[in-house]
């Protein structure tokens, strides 16, 4: 059995042939920091290679799925550069697309920024109806370059994708379901049972057929990722060095609204 015990920010749990990965920084609303980002860059490949599971569930501990990027880490990337982050972000997206096991996102709470990106690269998304999902990269002066610009148009079309990526608005789960961004929004008390039932159904299915069907569906997405991710991440690196991004980080620390200058 694969050993996931070395992961510090991601919990693993097995239930039969179902492997659950839980983002585990609940005191920070599972905001992705440097450590978690590095672990995410390896865990999906490890889960794909795990011979003792057929279905993967991705969720968050506590009140949120993931609040996006950790503000302390954002400052470190401004000071020290974006290269390592870009390499890891590309690996995370490609590993999710390459994993031929079905991956179910269970949004127990809000999914923002890179949290939303990870959820949207999963195969089927269930959310508690109080949860919201959105990609507010622009709200912190960053390009939505770590996968958002790729996956949102595929799910909701270019017009809606541009609306939500330009504004960073968070979308309530029922509305996200209505526009086709996610699959299901249901009362929080029903979320675990619904995900368990769907995971059990997939685990009891014809695994070769399910996995090869996923590979067929993901083929054009993988081609698009190969074409886009380097450019998207290079543009995000450019915005990482902008004055507006530094202003957003400063404003967050100061508890005020940012005053962007377009630089």
Average pLDDT over residues 35-41: 98
Q: What is the pLDDT of residues 41-78, one digit of tens each?
A: 999 999 999 999 999 999 999 999 999 999 999 999 99
Collect all residues with Cβ–Cβ distance below 8 Å to 157 and sequence separation of at least 6: none
Reported as a single tens digit per residue, the pLDDT across 131-164 is 999 999 999 999 999 999 999 999 999 999 999 9
pLDDT tens digits along 100-138: 999 999 999 999 999 999 999 999 999 999 999 999 999
Query: And the tokens for 44?
Result: 């999906």
Residue 83 pLDDT level (bands cut at 50, 70, 90): very high
Q: Which residues of 171-205 are buried (b: 16+ CB within 10 A; e: fewer)?
A: bbbeebbeeebbbbbbeeeebeeebbebbeebbee
In total, the chain counts a number of residues equal to 263
Locate the DSSP E strands across the chain.
10-15, 18-23, 55-60, 103-107, 111-112, 124-128, 132-134, 171-172, 184-186
Helix, strand, or coil (residue 107): strand
Phi and psi dihedrals of 123, rounded to 5?
-90, -40
pLDDT of residue 119: 98
What letter does residue 69 receive in the DSSP assignment?
B
DSSP letters of 187-240? -HHHHHHHHHHHHHHHHTS-HHHHHHHHHHHHHHHHHHHHHHHHHHHHHHHHHH
pLDDT given for residue 3 in this prediction: 77
CATH no., domain 10-189+202-208:
3.90.226.10
Which pLDDT does position 188 carry in this prediction? 98
Domain extent listing, the chain: 10-189+202-208
């Amino acid at each position: 059995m694969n050993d996931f015990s070395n992961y510090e920010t991601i919990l693993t749990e097995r239930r039969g042939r179902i492997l659950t990965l839980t983002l585990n920084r609940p005191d920070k609303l599972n905001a992705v920091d440097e450590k978690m980002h590095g672990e995410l860059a390896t865990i999906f490949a490890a889960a794909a290679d795990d011979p003792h599971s057929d279905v993967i569930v991705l969720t968050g501990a506590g009140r949120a799925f993931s609040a996006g990027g950790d503000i302390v880490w954002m400052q470190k990337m401004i000071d020290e550069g974006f290269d390592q982050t870009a390499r890891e972000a590309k690996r995370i997206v490609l590993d999710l697309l390459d994993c031929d096991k079905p991956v179910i996102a269970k949004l127990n709470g809000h999914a923002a920024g890179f949290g939303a990106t990870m959820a949207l690269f999963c195969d089927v998304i269930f959310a508690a109806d109080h949860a919201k999902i959105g990609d507010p990269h622009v709200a912190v002066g960053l390009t939505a370059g770590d996968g958002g610009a790729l996956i949102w148009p595929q799910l909701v079309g270019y017009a809606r994708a541009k609306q939500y990526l330009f504004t960073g608005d968070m979308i309530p789960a029922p509305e996200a379901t209505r526009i086709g961004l996610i699959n299901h929004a249901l009362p929080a008390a029903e979320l675990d049972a619904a995900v368990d039932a769907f995971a059990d159904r997939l685990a009891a299915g014809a695994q070769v057929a399910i996995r090869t069907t996923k590979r067929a569906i993901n083929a054009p997405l993988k081609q698009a990722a190969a074409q886009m991710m380097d450019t998207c991440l290079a543009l995000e690196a450019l915005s990482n060095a902008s004055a507006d991004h530094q202003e957003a980080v400063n404003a967050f620390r100061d508890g005020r609204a940012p005053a962007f200058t377009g630089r």
